[in-house]
Amino acid sequence: MKLVIQCFFLFLSLLVNSQNLAQKLGYAPDSKLLIIHADDIGVAQGVNSASFSAFQKGTINSGSVMVPCPWFLEVAQFAQRNPNYDLGLHLTLTAEWKNYKWDGISSSNEISSLLNEKGHFYPTTEEVKVNATYEDVKKELRAQVNYAKNFGFEPTHLDTHMGAVLVRKDFTKAYFEVGEEFLLPVLAPIAFEELIDLDGIDESKIVWVERIYQKSDDTPIDRENWDVFYTNAIKNIQPGLNVLLVHLGDDTPELQQMMIDHPGWGVKWRSLDSEILESSGFKELLKKENIQLVQWNQIKKVIYP
- Output the pLDDT for position 5: 43
Q: Read off the pLDDT band of 15 (50, 70, 90).
A: very low
Domains of the chain plus CATH, in order, are 25-303 (3.20.20.370)
Instruction: Name the nearest CA neighbour of 91 among 141, 34, 39, 151.
Output: 141
Calculate the dihedral angle through the C-alpha atoms of 151, 166, 246, 54, rounding to the nearest 10 degrees: -20
DSSP 208-228: EESEEE---SSS--SHHHHHH
Average pLDDT of the segment spanning 163-167: 96
Question: What is the DSSP code (8-state) at residue 88?
Answer: E
| 63, 51 Cβ separation under 8 angstroms | yes
pTM score of the predicted model: 0.92
- Output the pLDDT for position 39: 97
pLDDT digits over 72-120, tens only? 999 999 999 999 999 999 999 999 999 999 999 999 999 999 999 999 9
DSSP 151-190: TT---S-EEEGGGGGGSSHHHHHHHHHHHHHTT--BEEEG
Q: Read off the pLDDT band of 4 (50, 70, 90).
A: very low
- Output the pLDDT for position 18: 54
Average pLDDT of the segment spanning 110-137: 98
